[in-house]
Amino acid sequence: MSEAAINDFVIKLANVNGTGSASANGLLMKAIFRMGVPVVGKNVFPSNIQGLPTWYEIRVTEKGYRGRSGDVHFIVAMNAETYERDLAELSPGGVLLYDNTWPRPHFLTRPDIQVLGVPFARLCNDAFKAARSRILMKNMAYVGTVAALLNLDLDVIHQLVREMFSTKPKLIDLNLQAIALGYDYAKEHFDCPLPFSVQSRDNTAGKVMIDGNTAAGLGCVYAGATFGAWYPITPSTSLMDAFAKYCDQLRVDVDTDLHKYCIIQAEDELAAAGMIIGAAWNGARSFTPTSGPGISLMSEFIGFAYYAEIPMVLFDIQRVGPSTGMPTRTQQCDIQLCAYASHGDTRHLLLFPADPGECFEMAVQAHDLAERFQTPVFVLSDIDIGMNDWMVDELTWDDSYQPDRGKLLSTEELEKIEKFHRYLDVDGDHIPYRTLPGTHPKGAYFTRGSGHNKFGGYTEDGQAYKEVVDRLRAKWHSAASKVPAPVISPSKKKACCGIISVGSCDGAVLEARDRLEAEGLHLDYMRIRGFPFSDEVEQFVADHDEIFVVEQNRDAQLMGLLLLETDVPREKLIPILHYSGEPLDYQFVYSALQEAARVRKIA
Amino acid sequence: MSEAAINDFVIKLANVNGTGSASANGLLMKAIFRMGVPVVGKNVFPSNIQGLPTWYEIRVTEKGYRGRSGDVHFIVAMNAETYERDLAELSPGGVLLYDNTWPRPHFLTRPDIQVLGVPFARLCNDAFKAARSRILMKNMAYVGTVAALLNLDLDVIHQLVREMFSTKPKLIDLNLQAIALGYDYAKEHFDCPLPFSVQSRDNTAGKVMIDGNTAAGLGCVYAGATFGAWYPITPSTSLMDAFAKYCDQLRVDVDTDLHKYCIIQAEDELAAAGMIIGAAWNGARSFTPTSGPGISLMSEFIGFAYYAEIPMVLFDIQRVGPSTGMPTRTQQCDIQLCAYASHGDTRHLLLFPADPGECFEMAVQAHDLAERFQTPVFVLSDIDIGMNDWMVDELTWDDSYQPDRGKLLSTEELEKIEKFHRYLDVDGDHIPYRTLPGTHPKGAYFTRGSGHNKFGGYTEDGQAYKEVVDRLRAKWHSAASKVPAPVISPSKKKACCGIISVGSCDGAVLEARDRLEAEGLHLDYMRIRGFPFSDEVEQFVADHDEIFVVEQNRDAQLMGLLLLETDVPREKLIPILHYSGEPLDYQFVYSALQEAARVRKIA
Amino acid sequence: MTSFTKPHIRRKNEPVNKLGLVRADYDGAMSTLCAGCGHDSVTASMARAFFELSIEPHRAVKVSGIGCSSKTTAYFLREAHGNNTVHGRMPSVATGAVAANSALTYIGVSGDGDSLSIGLGQFVHAMRRNVNMLYVLENNGVYGLTKGQFSASADLGSLAKRGAPNEMPPIDPVSLALSVGATFVARGFSGDREQLVPLIKAGLKHKGFGLIDVISPCVSFNDHKGSTKSYAHTYQYYHKAVHADYVAPSKDIKVCYDEGEIMPVEMHDGGVIRLRKLEKGFDPRDRAAAMSALANAQKNDEILTGLLHIDETHPDMHALNKMEDRPLNEIPYAELNPGAAKLHDLQKGFR
Amino acid sequence: MTSFTKPHIRRKNEPVNKLGLVRADYDGAMSTLCAGCGHDSVTASMARAFFELSIEPHRAVKVSGIGCSSKTTAYFLREAHGNNTVHGRMPSVATGAVAANSALTYIGVSGDGDSLSIGLGQFVHAMRRNVNMLYVLENNGVYGLTKGQFSASADLGSLAKRGAPNEMPPIDPVSLALSVGATFVARGFSGDREQLVPLIKAGLKHKGFGLIDVISPCVSFNDHKGSTKSYAHTYQYYHKAVHADYVAPSKDIKVCYDEGEIMPVEMHDGGVIRLRKLEKGFDPRDRAAAMSALANAQKNDEILTGLLHIDETHPDMHALNKMEDRPLNEIPYAELNPGAAKLHDLQKGFR
Ligand SMILES: Cc1ncc(C[n+]2csc(CCOP(=O)(O)OP(=O)(O)O)c2C)c(N)n1
Ligand SMILES: Cc1ncc(C[n+]2csc(CCOP(=O)(O)OP(=O)(O)O)c2C)c(N)n1
Ligand code: SF4
Ligand code: SF4
Ligand SMILES: [Mg+2]
Ligand SMILES: [Mg+2]
């Protein structure tokens, strides 16, 4: 637990969903960001449309930490139903703000916190006529109160309101009025600002606030993907929404209104998988965003793409499984499934972005790798990365980039060669050449998921069959050096032990590691970014005596891959597992590492 | 390679499918079996209906070995298309029998074998009028020739023909005539019998010849399953056919013609999975037979059954994957998929029968375990076990058996309890009680694949969610001692090394082990029969320095499970992999073990 | 089974049904849908139908897929088992459940997304099998739970909330059902409980698969101007063809037969569905007639509602499979176990 | 693209098409189906249609699912890419392929099992999207490849090889297609190439989804007495409604218009389908009429064949998605890449 301080505290807003709170909360976060102070925002929302508890947590972190902290210093408790729980979560010395319009019969409180009441409902009922406004404006009213209490820059807030409603200018004044209501009430009744508050800095220059799904959608645009198929599923929907938005903006001919892309809302995930396979087979870069249940449903097709060697790019925005699970909560629970999805001997390429910046980059890499290796490639994101706004370096682009279309024979090349065989390892690199329909009569071949020999012919012969699947395994293995390399962050002093982690665990792990380091526990850290594992991964496990594997699932799935695919002995690996569905916080990792180090007697 | 001898040789019949050869070949095998000499039969057929190569291999083995040997001493080469390949496969000193009706322009032969020609087509064309008879009777004609050459008991053969055509008595004489044609021709032209031939013994008493799918279907009848749903897929179809046949025979009221069972041909595998889940949820023992592609398609539902804790019995008759693969060839390639099928953290119970006898037993156990643990249970058979006739001990039944319905509350029990909570661990054994619809108002609960707490209520609370999935993991683990225990077959002398294998590998492994033992290489052998692994498995791996893991897939999937779920260090495990799709033969295992032992310098 | 957890609070003079239960005894958990969602009205109608039919709550079974609509099975009949399965696959789970115990009353609740896209195959095949259940399709033309994408039932030209028109032909569950031989096909509107409750009752009593396509507006994503699945549009265009009401078996049934406008259809339980013809000359027992009535209504931009087709003669799944009346899950093991001696006999053919 | 692998052997005076190719240039690998299988005749008809239309083989794409029928894409057009996908899921792969390159000619081949059970959802949704392809459904009423189980198109009362009758209503692909708004719906018979070849040609030229349901008997499992999908039964009951023939764009087209019995339908490429009405007063451009013709034929136990419905006005998937004419797979990356500067601009909203 850590004390709240200037530019270093956590505010949590407890709301009911469907009441318009999300944009108000986003506005608060953006205001702090624009004041030059780094923020970490987590939106925890229910799996329905209206009426259930939702939370928005904003960590203000001058040092620019990227994970949750685990503390809550300031709660805006707008939801009576979760009030008790919200109250309990508040750190000692914290502040609770609530709507005191109606007296509460059994009002719970704690002696170690400060409670502030503002009659938001009454203020809004008095000020606004329309029923809908009265509900919506309560949110803006607490924004005003919070702004006063945290010393937020009102100009910044007003500017944000104007941008937010630029298309509905009538609403600007209404919202500004509501903000003023809350602001003025606070100034009048409370000591403003609180001891912890925000002071302007210049720590967010060159940064943007973006969510991973938007970044990945944008990445697909830059990758030159022209076809996307999907079936709506939380939390992957916004990825396709982003792709559609940017295509609409960038790829529609202004004169003719004609599109240079095609997006299809499929009838289900099986169909979405089939469509992107069809399009990729026919030479259009394609992708599908989905989540766990979608991967289960696509399993048969994934095996087909693997065996028939068709590029396939899948974004799995992971949510809490198994089954429908908690669709709006985060986990990293599809790692094992994606690594080996489908029946028979199958193995795939995985990319693990840790933030929206990497979602953008890896979206591009996924397309390159899928075409280079003619195989399914999974980008394993999650709700935390995908749907929360993260502060990251502004995305950049290298204008010299050219898509790697892999070993694709052109009409001219086909013209030259004697005879084309689809599955022949001509170059000894385990990757055969492919051709597109329509390019040349010589290029024709028959794609099938049934037994085929290296020439592409149907076979039921054991040796001919083996030859192809043996090459497939070798091809998969050769991708180890081509998937994104792990990021290794050595400890300041030489360390005998290490941490391995992945994806959205990164911020919390880095922070926990730094804090432990400050206390004298030195740990090297490797974040895995690709599968199959490269030599660096092997080296890291070889170089350390004990390795903590931090991940967000129950069954230690990443650790499982390490056991299966590297030479690491089991005794070296110590799982640290978080799977409640909330984004990981550094305190969890810190305590777990500390405890594990104690038990294992690591210096 | 081993020499052919009396009651110890292999005959292979190469045919074209759709020409009626299968029943002729089965007749040959049955005749030898009835003469009291053990046989091993393997039918290798194509994935079409008519016109492609098919082989039937009969190993005559007085000692009662259960696997293939790898030799071929006698080939009946009825298929000109595979003639070259068949010829090459023959062991030196072997005999090739072919149809010499038409002269072959470029007749291939080998100096080290004996070639016998019989004009089967001409004999049959002369003897029979109908076009169809002329084709079919060629098969019976070579049966006659083979009978003469191998000294088979004609009375036994005649009796088999009479039984075979008991419903179409007109065909009996026709077939006997054809047999006589071939028999007489052989007697007249060749030295009969061959040096290797069959002599009557009494080694098959108490045995039956049965295929695994039939045995499993029968097992489901004895388990008291009343509902089955399926979607046709090779090689699982005959399992449901058998269940249907026995139900029709045993469970139809003679007076009313009404059924005590229900079988539904579903519209696909997803639907089949849903149906058996619905029926099991509602208290009828149910099951579905399928193969790899079906498991892929059922993945989402499997996770639902796991998380909602609904009994589910699946038979996966494995075939060569990935994708459509070689649907009529055998592999053990779905082990990993079935162990962890579905997204999110999921883990299942697996049973591994090694022969039709165990298919029968494990079909019953699967139903007991599924209800006891309220979870999916997979019986992992394969084409070799499922579709070939195996010689096994006559199936027996203990009349005192009662189904284990698990923790299912009756109306009376519900009447007594205060309040029922579906997912509460009342007894501390990790297994909650369940209720059936319609039994009692108190028993009602809401089944869902979305987040639920231990009371069965909807939740999005991380801790409440974790409590349930932690129990699920503990429940799964507690099944280790309840799934069938491994069969451990110690070497004659104390051995430092061992073999681990599974399912249809058993016969070949045992034979290879015995032969190596005779040469002084001592190896203990454990055949795994259930997953999660029991303490015996842990003990076996702990007790041995090096362990050869013999299995039929490319990616060492069983070895993978050992790495993931036991403490065995990787260096101990040496994979021996066979995945050409042909049933495993002992020579393959023998050579691989010998070679591995040499490399590893094992005494 | 006669024991009940007694209802807790009961208002004075509150109407009770034949079981002595009040309407509130058919309630469930509190709804978490949006205020004004059509689905909540349908829930109320379903609860009322069960109440009026005096079905013991615990002798009913509720099944559903995934979606706002599918959630509603939690919001009525708290004393009935519910099975909220996976997206689009409720029909198969229902089929298995019905197969296991034919003695209960089954109601399935689904949405247009759940039934017409991911679940289309299962939906059609459950109709083809004539599984004995009532299937209520709460049709709002959108995916509510995933926030407003068009579903396959969105009408040509219907506008999305953001203004884009749908340009693909809709899949009309009623036409589809007729084309694949469903035996009870009706359409209702969440806003008209007077019509809907009797339809649900009739559907529950129909022996075989009953489909009620209920237009049930989504206030959050598809209730704006230009949407053809809005309350306003539905009120304006809907048209009642046949009013159906179920009358339980009793001596008086025959008396009804004479009334001019009333056409009786006898049910398997001895009860009767009374059809009040609103459209002249339309006979819902004639499938071809239903199809052409539907085609005509479409031409006139009318939303035809009521009981559009009924066929009480086609055997249901149990009859097709020649199953005995006793539920599968009640057959004692002793009757299912052929025994050791029989096993020996059976294996004679394997020697 | 004009280069071809020249045909190897050519008979003297063998007819050549506009490309100078002979019919054998449209052949594929040797069939591995049973001798006499209806599917082999359909294969021959498809090859002939491509030949007669003078489509360059390598500019065609063949897609299929799994089944005996689906295998046949290997048996014609050896110079065309084929994609033999997974069971029941060909429509989605085809949809993606068509989306990626609209400039090729697409033919899908499937079976009744592949299309009407496991693949029903995809089949219907591909029609709804009006994907520009011809879909040939080789309908034999059984699962051939898995050895003779009834499929969902088995007719009521049709006998299985072992004598058991089917008791579930069939799913008729033609009715289904009409009910979900398909734009080209036809039925043929493998045994009548004279009718089938022109239908295939018309279907290939139709801009949008063309369905031809071809009765194609399975000699191994469904050609016995009592089977309603046998050769004998089909010959006896089949009935031709409308003969359709495609005429390529040319100056003479207009001349044809006058002939009494001929009704011309103009195609997107400027060609014309000439419909020869065999059934009086039947206009295949009227969907409702097609439905009632179908219903009547069913009543009379007739198998209605020919072009039963065509709608050239409904936009195909490309038009619905406002795609430009150039195939997606030919748009150079330079046109797709917004560039670094743009990326900077786009992110202004993220500050
Ligand atoms: C396999 C799978 N894919 C996608 C989803 C996401 N999802 C949940 S509900 C829904 C659509 C629901 O639409 P509908 O059935 O019309 O219900 P409504 O919410 O409109 O009542 C979708 C796509 C899911 N739960 N499972
Ligand atoms: C997922 C999956 N399930 C089952 C099968 C087995 N299977 C192969 S073909 C087939 C049915 C084919 O029937 P149909 O489409 O009518 O083709 P036909 O052989 O009759 O031409 C089935 C069930 C499969 N290949 N894949
Ligand atoms: S989103 Fe629509 S369908 Fe869902 S609860 Fe709200 S109003 Fe109902
Ligand atoms: S089984 Fe039937 S469908 Fe298949 S190839 Fe033979 S005749 Fe044709
Ligand atoms: Mg809906
Ligand atoms: Mg078929």
By the 8 A CB rule, do A18 and A3 touch?
no
Mutation for testing the C interface, residue in D124, D174, D183, D300 having most C CBs under 10 Å: D124
CATH class of the C23-325 domain in this structure = alpha beta
* B chain contacts of residue A303, beta-carbon cutoff 8 Å: 293, 296, 321-323
Nearest of A379, A381, A322 to residue A348 by alpha carbon:
A379
Residue C5 is nearest to which of B276, B442, B448, comparing CB atoms?
Answer: B442
Contact A268 C118 (CB under 8 A): yes
By the 8 A CB rule, do A239 and A382 touch?
no
For residue D257, pLDDT over 70 is answered with no
Sequential DSSP letters for D157-196: TPBPTTSPBP-SPPPPHHHHHHHTT-SEEEEEETT-HHHH
pLDDT of res. A603: 62
Q: Is the CB of C107 under 6 A from ligand 1?
A: no
Q: Which residue intervals of chain B bear CATH 3.40.50.920?
A: 487-599
By the 8 A CB rule, do A287 and A213 touch?
no
Q: Is the CB of C47 under 6 A from ligand 3?
A: no
In which band, very low, low, confident or very high, does the pLDDT at D298 lie, cut at 50, 70 and 90? confident
Q: Which of D40, D42, D64, D66 to mutate to test the pocket of ligand 2 (most atoms within 8 A of CB)?
A: D66
Contact A284 D82 (CB under 8 A): no
In which band, very low, low, confident or very high, does the pLDDT at C8 lie, cut at 50, 70 and 90? low
Task: Name the average pLDDT for chain C.
Answer: 92
Pick the CATH number of A210-393 from 3.40.50.970, 3.30.360.10, 3.30.750.24, 3.30.70.270: 3.40.50.970
pLDDT of res. B205: 96
In chain D, count of helices (H) and strands (E)? 13, 12
Q: What are B525-584's pLDDT values in tens digits?
A: 999 999 999 999 999 999 999 999 999 999 999 999 999 999 999 999 999 999 999 999
Stretch among A68-77, A214-223, B485-494, D4-13 having the lowest mean pLDDT: D4-13
Residue type, C139: N
The arithmetic mean of pLDDT across residues C61-68, rounded, is 98
Is the N-terminal amide bond of A232 cis, ω within 30° of 0? no
By the 8 A CB rule, do C309 and C315 touch?
no
Which residue of C lies nearest to B444 if distances are taken between CA atoms? C81
Q: Is the CB of C37 under 6 A from ligand 3?
A: yes
pLDDT of res. C216: 97
In chain C, where are the structural domains located? 23-325
Residue A267 is nearest to which of C71, C118, C147, comparing CB atoms?
Answer: C118
Pick the CATH number of B8-189 from 1.20.140.10, 3.20.20.210, 3.40.920.10, 3.40.50.1220: 3.40.920.10
In which band, very low, low, confident or very high, does the pLDDT at D6 lie, cut at 50, 70 and 90? very low
CA within 13 Å, CB half, A170: 1
For ligand 2, atom 7, name the residue with the nearest CA: B233
Contact B323 A303 (CB under 8 A): yes
- Contact map slice: B 50-69 vs A, CB within 8 A: 52-53
For ligand 3, atom 8, name the residue with the nearest CA: C37
Atom of ligand 3 nearest to the CA of C148: 1
Q: Is the CB of D39 under 6 A from ligand 4?
A: yes
Which residue of B lies nearest to D113 if distances are taken between CA atoms? B267
How many percent of chain D have pLDDT more than 90? 76
Which tokens in the block code for residue B365? Answer: 């156990």
Give the separation between CA B311 and CA A515, rounded to whole angstroms.
47
pLDDT of res. D245: 87
Q: Is the CB of C161 under 6 A from ligand 3?
A: no
Distance from Cα D146 to the centre of ligand 2, integer Å: 6
Q: What are B312-352's pLDDT values in tens digits?
A: 999 999 999 999 999 999 999 999 999 999 999 999 999 99
CB atoms within 10 A of CB A401: 16
pLDDT of res. C6: 47
Find where tokens 């967000």 sit. Answer: A552
How many percent of chain C have pLDDT more than 90? 77
Contact A323 B308 (CB under 8 A): yes
For residue C247, pLDDT over 90 is answered with no
pLDDT of res. D289: 87
Contact C100 B449 (CB under 8 A): no
Atom of ligand 4 nearest to the CA of D39: 8
Nearest of B460, B591, B597, B456 to residue B515 by alpha carbon:
B591
Q: Is C289 on the interface with D (CB under 8 A)?
A: no
For residue C337, pLDDT over 60 is answered with yes
In which band, very low, low, confident or very high, does the pLDDT at A105 lie, cut at 50, 70 and 90? low
Q: Which residue intervals of chain A bear CATH 3.40.920.10?
A: 8-189
pLDDT of res. B603: 63
Please give the helix or strand (H or E) that residue D275 lies within, else none: strand D272-277
Q: What are C162-220's pLDDT values in tens digits?
A: 889 999 999 999 999 999 999 999 999 999 999 999 999 999 999 999 999 999 999 99
**CATH number of this structure's domain A487-599:** 3.40.50.920
Distance from Cα B265 to the centre of ligand 2, integer Å: 13
Q: What are A361-375's pLDDT values in tens digits?
A: 999 999 999 999 999
Stretch among A83-97, C324-338, D106-120, D252-266 having the lowest mean pLDDT: D252-266
Contact B237 D146 (CB under 8 A): yes
Coil, strand or helix: which one is D261?
A: coil
In chain A, count of helices (H) and strands (E)? 19, 21
Q: Is the CB of A265 under 6 A from ligand 1?
A: no
Residue A232 is nearest to which of C86, C88, C143, comparing CB atoms?
Answer: C143
Q: What are A24-62's pLDDT values in tens digits?
A: 999 999 999 999 999 999 999 999 888 899 999 999 999
pLDDT of res. D8: 58
Task: Name the average pLDDT for chain B.
Answer: 96
Which tokens in the block code for residue A93? Answer: 């010395």
For residue C252, pLDDT over 80 is answered with no
Q: Is the CB of C145 under 6 A from ligand 1?
A: yes
Q: Is the CB of D66 under 6 A from ligand 2?
A: yes
pLDDT of res. D1: 34
Distance from Cα C174 to the centre of ligand 6, integer Å: 27
How many percent of chain D have pLDDT more than 70? 93
Q: Which residues of B481-503 are buried (b: 16+ CB within 10 A; e: fewer)?
A: ebbbebeebebeeebebbbbbbb
For ligand 2, atom 12, name the residue with the nearest CA: D67
* C chain contacts of residue A52, beta-carbon cutoff 8 Å: 32
Sequential DSSP letters for A489-509: E--SS--SEEEEEEGGGHHHH
User: Which backbone phi and psi does B364 adopt, to 5 degrees?
Assistant: -70, -50
Which residue of B lies nearest to D85 if distances are taken between CA atoms? B324
In which band, very low, low, confident or very high, does the pLDDT at B106 lie, cut at 50, 70 and 90? confident
The arithmetic mean of pLDDT across residues D177-194, rounded, is 95
Residue A440 is nearest to which of D58, D90, D324, comparing CB atoms?
Answer: D58
Residue type, A312: M
Give the separation between CA B124 and CA B172, rounded to whole angstroms.
16
pLDDT of res. B183: 98
* B chain contacts of residue D88, beta-carbon cutoff 8 Å: 268
Atom of ligand 2 nearest to the CA of D39: 21
By the 8 A CB rule, do B209 and B356 touch?
no
Q: Which of C75, C87, C147 to mutate to test the pocket of ligand 1 (most atoms within 8 A of CB)?
A: C87
For residue A528, pLDDT over 90 is answered with yes
Give the separation between CA A324 and CA B129, rounded to whole angstroms.
65
In which band, very low, low, confident or very high, does the pLDDT at A262 lie, cut at 50, 70 and 90? very high
